[in-house]
Amino acid sequence: MPEVLAYATDDKSCQFHKTTITRREPGATEVFFEVKYAGICHSDIHTAREEWGPVTFPLVPGHELAGIVTQVGSEVTKFAVGDKVGVGCFVDSCGECEFCQQGQEQFCTSTEKPVVMTYASTGRDGLPTAGGYSQGITVEQDYVCRIPDEIPFEAAAPLLCAGITTYSPLKRWGAGPGKKVAVVGMGGLGHMGVQIAAAMGAEVSVISQTMSKEADGKKFGAMHYYATSEEGTLDKLRGTFDMVLSTISADYDVDALLGTLKVGGALVNVGAPEKPVDVAVFSLIVGNKIFAGSNIGGIAETQEMLDFCAEHGIAPQVEIIGGEDITEAYDKVVASKVRYRYVIDTSTF
């Protein structure tokens, strides 16, 4: 059984320490890959701080993994030793239900073989799953994506969550030429949303809390940049956008954002704050507005997103950190101080 170094927290105070975990030998259709880089998603923080409910500790988070295959099972056909691969938020599902068949494995409805999240979940072996803050992982080949050579490897990991979580709703809700799209919150997800929406051909605006990231927003492809710290910003934007993508990780004023939509426009929420948000029905009724959600994306669409990013020269802007820096990085993410995703280099373990 492969033993690997990892970083875990023993409770919701999120003081990370080095540990050793055991991975299973790859089965016939599984691959083992050395995790080289792991992104820190704000969802890791919500989970480990138990903002979404209780979890089992010790916890090894991480659902943005980039690595290199070092072992393949006897029936693996999709990958070979040496391949650059990535894994996102889930590592298994039934493969047979309506949603698995549609390539939306994240919505697997099976009760016998339910979706297995990369961490804080129960694996098929009945053991708690452990995520990407580790030097290696065993995964069923159907839940692994290929990382194109055009994408800088040390920056690829965040695409496996931040990339797909923004690509999927932008595509579904028609971001493209002639469409005005606002991305709200320019953190890990937001800075990918800006790049992807711009590459799809939309006219992109950023709505941030401050103007401090304006130059970066424009570099990522935004044509306009607004800050809610400036009085009256959302009032001035009334009736402007076809689509607003909210990546805000905290409570926010949904009605004010709905007001920035054109008639028939959609506010798509991907941020997952701890507490429920309020919405006034009149904000929806007047103007036939849509308030929608979106949850990551399936495996085929994740591969499509990776290929799209390679083709368009898009990549996350990352700050590489070591294992010892994870504890502090959590506070910096919550304080919006990351530019724009922390990626853990597992060779520092």
Closest residue to bound Zn ion by CB:
41
Q: Residue 169 CB, nearest distance to ligand NAP (Å)?
A: 9
42 near ligand NAP, rule: CB under 6 A: yes
270 near ligand NAP, rule: CB under 6 A: yes
45 near Zn ion, rule: CB under 5 A: no
How far, in Å, CA of 277 to CA of 158, rounded? 26
271 near ligand NAP, rule: CB under 6 A: yes
**Of the candidates 86, 136, 187, 265, which one interacts with ligand NAP according to CB under 6 A?**
187
Write out the two tokens for 34. 């050395």
162 closest CA partner among 342, 347, 344:
342
Q: What angle do CA 158, 243, 304 make, to 5 degrees?
A: 40
Kindly write out the interface string for residues 152-171 of this chain, putting x where it contacts Zn ion by CB under 5 A and - elsewhere.
---------x----------
Q: What angle do CA 148, 129, 335 make, to 5 degrees?
A: 70
Minimum CB distance to ligand NAP smaller for 194 or for 202: 194
Binding window for Zn ion (CB under 5 A); candidates: 24-32, 40-48, 146-154, 246-254: 40-48
Using CB atoms within 10 Å of the CB of residue 29, give its burial: 0 to 12 exposed, 13 to 18 middle, 19+ buried. Answer: middle
Q: Is the dihedral of CA 322, 328, 333, 339 positive or negative?
A: negative
254 near ligand NAP, rule: CB under 6 A: no
**Of the candidates 41, 69, 299, 326, which one interacts with Zn ion according to CB under 5 A?**
41
Q: Residue 283 CB, nearest distance to Zn ion (Å)?
A: 28
Q: Residue 57 CB, nearest distance to ligand NAP (Å)?
A: 19
277 near ligand NAP, rule: CB under 6 A: no
Q: Which does 279 bind (CB under 5 to 8 A by kind): Zn ion, ligand NAP, none?
A: none
Binding window for ligand NAP (CB under 6 A); candidates: 77-85, 136-144, 187-195, 313-321: 187-195
**Of the candidates 31, 32, 40, 43, which one interacts with Zn ion according to CB under 5 A?**
43
Q: Which does 271 bind (CB under 5 to 8 A by kind): ligand NAP, Zn ion, none?
A: ligand NAP
Residues, the chain? 349
Binding window for ligand NAP (CB under 6 A); candidates: 30-38, 78-86, 135-143, 182-190: 182-190
333 near ligand NAP, rule: CB under 6 A: yes
**Of the candidates 136, 163, 188, 323, which one interacts with ligand NAP according to CB under 6 A?**
188
Minimum CB distance to ligand NAP smaller for 73 or for 107: 107
Residues engaged in binding Zn ion (CB under 5 A) = 41, 43, 161
Residues that bind ligand NAP (CB under 6 A): 41-43, 46, 161-162, 165, 185-190, 208-209, 247-250, 252, 270-273, 294-296, 333, 336, 338
